[in-house]
Structure 1
């Protein structure tokens, strides 16, 4: 039996963000040929456990998160446990997958970035130091792609804030500063980037095909184990 791919996303009250999540699920289904369900870790329903409970047979849960923070490490496993689907195979978060870093660079170029512009990688933020390490790693990878130093800033929880990071990145008075959005979809966090004082702000990563490819790779690597005999 082909395992169901349960795509776990954060959730947002912004209808554009929800539409982006649903579009991502459709593209992942087309890419993998697997049945795909969508579950939300926070804000709206169905939560990941509720979505899993509606599935018969094996499940692979792929967290569409860019770092393995509280939602991935605590909320999603707890939701699966409460729903009686602790048997679901949970993959790692998408993290610093090279395809996502390439997507961030592509979005920057689309926004008008040019060599010589300073770059801040803006992420949601987390109280989990491992999640912050993953963002720093993504910034290092993006630095290699762009050939320039990329610093980090956070919308909430962690420091420096995105406005502070933008101010620090402007090393000379007339230098432009660009924000690379380390965010998957439109929503409140991305709207805040427009207020951070940068000269240009890149769009979220979705619907770049690199995001779809990264999710498909997580699914395929876990799918065999999900149906293997105990």
Structure 2
């Protein structure tokens, strides 16, 4: 009798967390889609705000090797320090590269912008959560540059929370400078308080968040496979 094929490691999706139930629902939808695409066990853990924590989620998987994919759009505190620290006690958990300003997600942001009613010639703001971490801010700036190249025009980077000019102020400034219409591209993954702030910023078109875009599930798969491939090369 031939030996059974090896079981692929489980997947742990690590999201930031939000008090908005809709945000958690979207994350679970990504998990379900990843489970169907990869054919592996999948669990969800939240770095902050809600439970289960990443460590709790690993325990729920019941042991065995696991690949953790941090679902963050910039490599700030949670990606570089918090999530690795929460998972450090598990020798069989491999932490994959985070999302960051991946070109596929930038393209998804452009699609969301068009779906929201943005028009050629609109002044464009890319709205990010914001961070005090220099590396996270560099990732956000890279995403805005990539979106500008994709759209063929300048993109103003603005934040919902900290680390730069606020979205509402950026929209108002563009109008003062003569923009007839302003569109806001959402560089957020899930619905919640930050997305609602975008909806109230006074722009003519506001894109929705990214988590339910097919590119997100594709990227989860890429990060999962790349982490396994790297581990196997160094084994």
Question: Quick check: TM above 0.5?
Answer: yes
Q: 1: CA distance between counterparts of 2:185 and 2:176?
A: 18
Counterpart selection for 2:161 from 156, 163, 171: 156
Name the structure 1 match of 2:135: 130
Name the structure 2 match of 1:191: 196
Higher alpha-carbon deviation: 60-69 or 72-81: 72-81
Q: 2: CA distance between counterparts of 1:174 and 1:129?
A: 30
Q: 1: CA distance between counterparts of 2:121 and 2:213?
A: 25
Name the structure 1 match of 2:33: 27
Name the structure 2 match of 1:37: 43
- Can you list the C-alpha shifts for 1:47-106, whole angstroms capped at 9, x where unaligned? 11111233311111101110111111121112112xx21542111210111110110000
Name the structure 2 match of 1:141: 146
- Can you list the C-alpha shifts for 1:6-55, whole angstroms capped at 9, x where unaligned? 00001111111111000011111112222111000001111111112333
Question: Which runs of 5 or more structure 1 residues have no equivalent in the other structure?
Answer: none
Shift of 1:223: 1.9
Q: 2: CA distance between counterparts of 1:228 and 1:146?
A: 38
How many residue pairs get aligned? The number is: 228
Name the structure 1 match of 2:4: none
Secondary structure of the residue aligned to 1:121 is strand
Q: 2: CA distance between counterparts of 1:174 and 1:212?
A: 35
Secondary structure of the residue aligned to 1:67 is coil
Question: Which runs of 5 or more structure 2 residues have no equivalent in the other structure?
Answer: 1-6
Secondary structure of the residue aligned to 1:205 is coil
Name the structure 2 match of 1:119: 124
Q: 1:91 and 2:96 equivalent?
A: yes
In the superposition, the TM-score normalised over structure 1's length comes to 0.94
Counterpart selection for 1:60 from 54, 67, 72: 67
Counterpart selection for 2:23 from 14, 17, 21: 17
- Can you list the C-alpha shifts for 1:176-204, whole angstroms capped at 9, x where unaligned? 11110000110011001122221111010
Over aligned residue pairs, what C-alpha RMSD do you find? Answer: 1.6
Q: 2: CA distance between counterparts of 1:225 and 1:172?
A: 49
In the superposition, the TM-score normalised over structure 2's length comes to 0.92
Shift of 1:168: 2.5
Q: 1: CA distance between counterparts of 2:126 and 2:199?
A: 14
Q: 1:73 and 2:80 equivalent?
A: yes
